[in-house]
Structure formats: structure tokens, C-alpha cells
Chains A and B, each alone.
Chain A
Amino acid sequence: MTLKTKSHWVDYTIFGLSVFLVFCLIFDSFLELPVLVAWLGRWHPVLLHFPIVLLLGAILISLTNKNVPYPLLTLACITALITAISGFFLGTEVSAKGDLLLWHQWLGAGVALLSALWFWLDKIKLGQEMYTKGLQVLLIVLIGFTGHYGGMVTHGEDFLALPSSKKQEKIPENPLIYKHVVNRILENNCVSCHNPNKQKGELLMTNLKEILKGGESGNILIPGNPKESEMIMRLHLSPEDEEHMPPEGKRPLDQTEIRILERWIALGASDTLRLDALEKGEPLVALVKELMEPDPMDKWAALPKVADSTIMNLSSDYLSIKRIASHSDALKINVFLSPEHDPKSITDLHRIANNIVELDLSALPIGSKEMEMISSCVHLEWLEIDRTPITDNDVDKLKDLTKLSLLKIYGTNIGDKSISVFKGLQNLKSLYLWKTGITQGSLDELKKAKPNLLIDNGIKEDVNAFFVDTDTIQKDLKTE
């Protein structure tokens, strides 16, 4: 008897809540919630756990052909409706609902209303019919999607994306400062909270128009004035500060990132500015180039492993082998002239030839055997063979060192024949040729063929003459 009256109340409640939910959804844009009611929406993140567990539990029981206990289904249904309504209240806090939020809202409403339908079907003893089962399966799917969209709203769209190696798209040549650089920094650090689905502080940072519009505390960016721009000021606060951005628990921006944002704002926060258009001395150029440059450690990552013991065995007091950086297999070798110089110590290096990236054999009596070893160092980028007795024939052995970017070969007897080898070295950037037999004509030819190559042929004559003529040092200088 008591059960009967109670169940009436339950029926009315569920019916009432359902109607209210539908009403909310229909008159969404006309609703103005009292503050206290809106506050109820804040309980949504707590409440939502109940219907998920209760509904899934009920469905599980039902699908195994058992009768669902009446209190369980009732509770599941009521919490589903309350959760949906509270979610709707919470949603009104956002001024414009993004796609994710809309999907979440409609799916959530779907879950609540379908569970109400199931409650009714169960009540009229149709709980074990096939279509009810179908409805239950549909509910599982809906709960899954609702939860997933809800998760994306809170934690960001890629929260559940598989952990990737974070290989970011390469910045193109001559990038647009805003689109390719600034936007990327914002994407990485700010957009997870300031997007249409979350809009923390009523601020959107997904495009320049929205950034310039600002958020609830007004403008965040004043073009030309980084110091007064709120977004920059907040980056500079101490990380413990409430106002610091990004908030506690997220990675603060590094110096380069902050500096790029500052310079971009100082230059007017334009979205059409390109790297090429910047003046040469502008700090932004170097900052952007730093981002564009691939980390040298990456290009060495594929080098074969080399053991510390191998390095120890091949080193001596006059031959130092060092890793270019920690955890890198790229090696840098310096050889100094020992009183008992043995060419074998150099030719032995062929064992690690693939790892040698920098090699300094300056002022050593090297010949064709050593050059043979050098030619096998296919990853060589930096070679110093200045002040050695090498000849044009030896230089010929360098022609396959395609990675070579710096060559010091001054103070040698090489001549014009070597020019063709230099021309063929694709990656050569700096060439030091002072005091060689190379003639001016050949140099000009090389300059023409490789305009970007830095060729150093000693101190400029006029500068040198100035130094020789104006010896300002006092002749009568006495020292202690």
C-alpha cells in the first residue's frame, strides 16, 4: 500500500523532471536563471557519476535477463534527469556554447529522457521485451559518448588522444609570425582553457580577433605595448601567484616563448607580419629562427651507438675524444702534436668514423693515410686541417663529405684545383682559406658559384694596413 502511493510520487517526479528538461532545452536562449539556481549547476561534476554507475549497473542486470530491482532503476533514472538539468544550468554560464558542449548537452539530455522512457516501459511490464533491450544498448552507447564529450569539455579535446611523440609541424620558410609562431605557442599553452568550449575568464585565444577582444577583465593585449598587456604581465608573475598564467599545475612558458610574444606585441601584434619583413637587428628574428632550427641532437640521434670504453681505448694524452653533448653519440676529436707522434693513433679512428662529427687535426704532419680516414667519416660537419702539409690531391678525398659545413684549411699548399671540390660540397657554410695557393680569380669564381658560402681569406688589406701603420702601443711601457 505504502509502496503504491510512493511509486505515484516517483512517477510524478520523473515525469515532472522530464518535462522540465525538455522545457529547458527548448527555451534555452530565453532563460535567465536566478543566481542560486545557476549555482546548483556547479554540482554537475559531482552528480554525473551517479547515473553513469547506476544506469550501467541496471542495464547489466537487465541484459542478463534478470528483473531490475525497482529502487535501482528509479534512482538511476532520477539522478540521470537531475544531472542533465544541473548540466544545463552549468552550461548557461558559458556565453556561447561550442560544438563540444552542444553535443554533450544533447547527448546527456538523450540519456536522461531515454532512461525515463525505460522506467515507464519497465513500469508497464515491458522491461524484458526486445526493443527495451535495444534501448538499453543504445543507452550504453549514449552514456559513453556523453561522458567522452564531457571529458573533452573539461580536459581539452586531445585529452584522450594517444600519447604522441609531440612531433610538431615544421615551421615553413619565411613564416607568418602570428599564424606559424605565436599561434603555435598559444595552441600549446593557452588554448586548452581559452577555447569556445571552456572560455575561462570569458577569454578566447583561438584567433587574433578574439584575443584582441579580451576577456572578462577587459583587454589583454595592447598592440605595441607588451609591458601594459595583461597577457604578458600575467606570464611574468611569480608562479605561485593566483593570477599567474598558465595556472598552477601547467607548464609555465619558457623565456623564448615569452620573449617572442613580447616582441610580437611590441611590433604591433599583426597577423600579416612575415619573418622576412623584420629588420636584421630585431631580436624576434633570432628567436623565431631558433624555433625553426631543428635541434642538432635530433639529426645525430640516428648515429650508431659508441661505448665509453671504445672512447677511452682510442684516447690518449694527445688525442681527446668527447661526446658533443650528454647522451649523444656524436663525437668531437682534437689531436695535438705529441713528441712521439704516431699516425696510427689517427688512422685507428676509422673504428668510430661514423660517429665523428667534429675533427681537429690542425698543425699535424698528416698525409694521404689520414685523409683516407677522414674520407670515411661520412657524418663529418666540422673539419680543421689548417697548417698541415696536405695538397690538392688530398683535398679531393673530401668530396664525398656531404655533411661538411665548416672547413679550416688555411696555411696549406693547396691551389686552384681544390676549388671544384669546395663547389661540390653541398652543405659547406664556412671556408677558411687564408695563406693558401688559391688565386683571387678562383676565389671569385667560387664566390659566384656559392653566394651563401662564407669565405675567409684573411684580414682585409685596408684593416691590416691600419693596424700595421698605427701601432698605438707605447714603446716606453715598463712592466712589473
Chain B
Amino acid sequence: MEKDKTNAENPLKVNRRHFFSQLSVGIGSLALGSLLIPDLFKGGGVKELTDMPLGIPHFAPKAKRVIYLFQAGAPSQLETFDHKPTLRKRMGEDLPESVRNGQRLTGMTSGQDKFPLMPPMVKFNQHGNSGAWVSDFFPHIAKIADDICIVRSMHTEAINHDPAITFFQTGSQISGRPSMGSWMSYGLGSENKNLPSFVVLTSRGKGNSQGLYSKLWSSGFLDSKHQGVLLRSGKDPVLYLNDPDGISRSDKRHLLDHVSSLNKLHHVETGDDEIESRIAQYEMAYRMQMSVPDVMDVSKEPESIVKLYGEDCQVPGTYAANALQARRLAENGVRFIQLYHQGWDQHGNLHNEMAGQAKDVDQASAALVLDLKQRGMLEDTLVIWGGEFGRSNYCQGKFDPANYGRDHHPRAFSIWMAGGGIKPGLNYGKTDEFGYNIIENPVHINDFHATLMHTLGLDHEQLTYKYQGRRFRLTDVAGNVIKDLLA
């Protein structure tokens, strides 16, 4: 069990400030204790932070792990899940100023004098009992329409990729905060001590890509053991994990024991908590030498599963392979599995590029949901599919239906979720006829984070970490749990 970080400072590190604050708390608590009125000063029923030990959910969870299929670059909501026939009717017309209503634009379209409305060139159909509109780019996801919950009313403040994706991953547009996977690892601890609790897998489509940086899965100010571990495709999933030639496993054990005893000495001297983290990480790496190759070996998967995910799931580094890998990691107790698929930034040549991107992810994403379902894992695994913002309903640059692009759009976009206590077959939220503004049930990124934490049994207002003089949360000072989404 982990100790509360706010109290877990080494006695050697006590300074004048600590001394006085501890002293006053001591006297204060004596006085309080003598009053024997437990809730007198708590006010408003706020629970004591120290009441909530780390590594255990605050209340009984619905979901125990998350697989986040991040579509980096921001797939257009108008070519995926948000069907807007008006765009076709008014194709080429200028977007009314009353709709745009002063929205800040990126440098790529802010100079345009006209914003011609551009309908999607792909057809939409309704699927499943829920009647969800899904474009023909995604025939497989259409098949699982009744298993997923489509949210068409996501919104964000960021208008460029880096701040937007950082916002989604860390709850802040400015980098430096812990990633959501790190928060979950911090809040829930690990289920399997032989694997990291937060794992990252990346793949790249042929579409226009934006960079991915390791800061997106960084643990920020949290202990570095909560950092996301990037698993690579190919022979060496984790770099430097394998022993060099000529070193046996028992040699490694001796080495680790000795290094660890030296490290412990150093820890007693300095009281630096990072040393303890490092010792733990060496030990985990030692066990991972056994567990990782086993988990990563997809050759044991039967042919029926390979066919389900698509043949490409046997090609390391593809999205399909990562999706299958994600299921195997989830089965082995990894808390947070973060996939990124790059190439969704269609400023031009949207139709062709999106067709390619969709082909990369459609079958494997849907297969993952079906596979989890037949294993009963959808009961306690939350799957999320979506990008960092939406795309404009007007065309970027010259109006040309044969080769059009869309700029970034923060005010409305679509994502879907499945399993883990989220209501299946739900179509949540509505945008106006232009697909530009939300007219019903908006879900902000902070709300999304709060809801996700709720399914994991965490109160987003209670999971905090004190750093630089104040307590931080993933949702910082905002966010409401969207109860309508919960099953």
C-alpha cells in the first residue's frame, strides 16, 4: 500500500517551514480532538484527503482498466459520426457569421475571405437498434453500433494540435502535467506487478501526421514509476530490457541485489524518493524480462482472432497489431493502455486520406470491442476512440469538392466509448444543422476526464497531488461527471 504523498516526506527533509506547519497542526488537532465533535470544521461534508489511501478506488468501480484508441491529428466528425445533410443542401454557401460567431481560427484559414460549406463526400447510414449514423468509411464500427456510446458533443478550447492533444492527455493545454494514464496509475496502483500499469503503443497511417512526444505519457510531477512505458514493435519491445550477451539471469539478480543495497544506503542519506522509485523500476524490469516477451507474443493467437482483427495484426507496428496487443495487455492487468494512430490531419485531400486512415483502424477497433465482449472484458474495460478536436464544416483554401480539406474545429466533435460502465447503444449530444455548434448536452474535456475517473471508482475532486504549494487534479478546477453516459 502506498502512503499519502503529501505526508511521505523523509524526516531528514524537514525544514523550518515544515516544522512550524507540523507544529501548528499538532496543537490544533489536540484542541480539536478534545472537542470530540468529528465533523465540526469539515464544512459542507468535504471528505478528508488523508481518508483516501492511494492505490485503491474511492468507491466501487465499474471499470478496472482503460484502452484509449487515440486518433492523433483529429479525424473529422463530419466524415465519421456527425451526419449533417444541411451541408449538402447548402454546399458552397458561405458559413453564416452568426454561426461562426467569432470563433478563433488557426493561421491556416484565418486569412480566408470566404468559408464555403463543404459536405462530406462519403455516404452515411443508420446502424443497429440505436440508429446511430456512421459513415461508410467505417463498415466494421457500424456493426458494433449497439455496443458503443457515441458522443457528438465533445468540445475543447485548443485550436492547434499540440495544445489540444496535451489538454486531452493531461487536462492542461500547457505541457508539464501528468498524463491521464499516470493519474490512473497513481490513483489505482497496478494490478500486475510484472508489467507497467501504463503502457503506450504507437502506429502511423499514411495521412498527414503531427508529431507525438513522450511528454504526452509523462508522469509530470508524479512519481516516475507512473510514467507510460512505450512498447516498440519488433524484437525489442522495451529498449535495453534484455540482458547483454554473456550475462545470465542469475548474474543479473546478483547485480540488482547489490545495486539495490547501494541505492538504499543513498536513500537513507538523502531521503530522495526517486531512489526508491528507481529500485522498484529495476526490479520490475527484471520481472518484465519474463513477462513482456510472453505478452507481446501474438503468434499464439488462433487464426479466428487474427481474421477478426484483420491479417495486419500479425505485422508488428500496425494499428491492428497494437489493438490486439492492447487486449493482451489488458488481460494481463495493465491499467491504462494508450494507443496513438497518427495521420488524421486532413487539411487537404481529405476524402482519400481519410479512406486510408479509416481502413487502418476501422476493423481492428471494432474487432477489439467484439473480442473484449466475448471474453467478458467489456464488463470492466473502458474503450475510448477519438481525436483531439474536430474539423471545420467549411473547406480550407479553394472550394473544390474533388480535393478538399478541413481546418481545425474545437467547438464540436465526436468520440465513442464502449464498456466499462458506459451506456451501450447511446447517441449522446447534438450539434446544430451545420455541425458547428453544440445545441444539446455538451461534454467538455474536463467532464470527459471526470466521467472516466468516475467509472474507475475515483472521485476527480479527491485524487490530488500537492506540488509547488498547491494541490493538482487531472480536472484541475473544473469538470462534472456526465451521469447520462453511465450505464
Contact = CB atoms under 8 A, between A and B. Distances in A.
Interface in A381-405: 384, 386
Contacts of B333: 320, 334, 336
B347 interface: no
A325 B376 contact: no
Contacts of B59: 297, 325-326
Contacts of B480: 255
A479 B367 contact: no
Contact of A325 (B57, B189, B484): B57
Contacts of B11: none
B311 A473 contact: yes
A287 B483 contact: yes
A362 B233 CA distance: 26
A456 B376 contact: yes
A480 B376 contact: no
Interface stretch (B13-21, B45-53, B220-228, B405-413): B45-53
Contact of A286 (B193, B315, B362, B423): B423
A320 B193 contact: yes
A406 B376 CA distance: 9
B486 to A, nearest CB: 6
Given A336-B332, A456-B373, A477-B360, A251 B310 contact: no
Nearest to A322: B56
A317 B287 contact: yes
Interface string B318-335: 101000000000011100
A408 B375 contact: yes
Interface in B275-323: 287, 290, 304, 307-308, 310-312, 315-318, 320
B182 interface: no
A473 B318 contact: yes
Contact of A362 (B140, B304, B331, B483): B331
A470 to B, nearest CB: 7
A471 B60 contact: no
Given A286-B486, A386-B375, A466 B143 contact: yes
Instruction: Tell me the interface secondary structure of chain B in the complex.
Output: loop
A326 B1 contact: no
Contacts of B315: 477, 479
Among A297, A459, A463, A479, residue most surrounded by chain B Cβ atoms (within 10 Å):
A479
B417 interface: no
Contact of A432 (B57, B304, B356, B375): B375
Interface string B203-223: 110100000000000000000
Interface in A419-445: 430, 432, 434
A131 B60 CA distance: 67
B191 interface: yes
Nearest to B205: A477
Contact of A334 (B1, B191, B379): B191
B118 interface: no
A474 interface: yes
A468 B304 CA distance: 8
B58 interface: yes
Interface string B123-141: 0000000100000000110
Contacts of B316: 479
A467 B140 contact: yes
Contacts of B487: 286
Contacts of A188: none
Interface residues of A, number: 53
A475 B203 CA distance: 15
Contacts of B1: 308, 312
Contacts of B44: 251
A466 B374 CA distance: 16
B426 interface: yes
A256 interface: yes
Contact of A472 (B190, B304, B310, B375): B310
Nearest to B47: A326
B54 to A, nearest CB: 10
B375 A410 contact: yes
A286 B376 contact: no
Nearest to B55: A322
Interface residues of B, number: 68
B308 A456 contact: no
A326 B57 contact: yes
B87 interface: no
A233 to B, nearest CB: 17
B204 A479 contact: yes
A468 to B, nearest CB: 4
Given A296-B60, A464-B308, A466-B143, A255 B481 contact: yes
Interface in A296-341: 296-297, 308, 312, 317-318, 320, 322-328, 334, 336, 339
Interface in A228-263: 251, 255-256, 259
Contacts of A475: 311-312
Given A251-B44, A324-B60, A467-B367, A286 B484 contact: yes
A281 interface: yes
Contacts of B61: 324-325
Nearest to B481: A255
A259 B483 contact: yes
Contacts of A458: 374
Interface string A34-72: 000000000000000000000000000000000000000
A16 interface: no
A320 B484 contact: no
B290 A339 contact: yes
Contact of B312 (A259, A286, A410, A473): A473
Nearest to A466: B143
B366 interface: yes
A259 B484 contact: yes
B457 interface: yes
A244 B45 CA distance: 19
A228 to B, nearest CB: 16
A467 B308 contact: yes
B484 to A, nearest CB: 4
22 contacts: A297-B59, A317-B194, A324-B60, A334-B192, A336-B194, A410-B374, A430-B379, A432-B375, A434-B374, A464-B308, A466-B140, A467-B140, A467-B366, A470-B363, A471-B307, A473-B363, A473-B364, A474-B312, A474-B360, A477-B315, A480-B204, A480-B317
Given A334-B192, A473-B363, 13 more contacts: A255-B483, A325-B61, A325-B457, A406-B379, A456-B374, A459-B371, A467-B363, A467-B366, A472-B362, A473-B364, A474-B356, A477-B318, A479-B318
Interface of B: 1, 44-45, 51-53, 55-61, 130, 139-140, 143, 189-194, 203-204, 206, 233, 287, 290, 304, 307-308, 310-312, 315-318, 320, 331-333, 356, 359-360, 362-364, 366-367, 370-371, 373-376, 379, 423, 425-426, 457, 480-481, 483-484, 486-487
The 4 closest A-B pairs by CB, nearest first: A479-B317, A432-B376, A473-B310, A283-B484
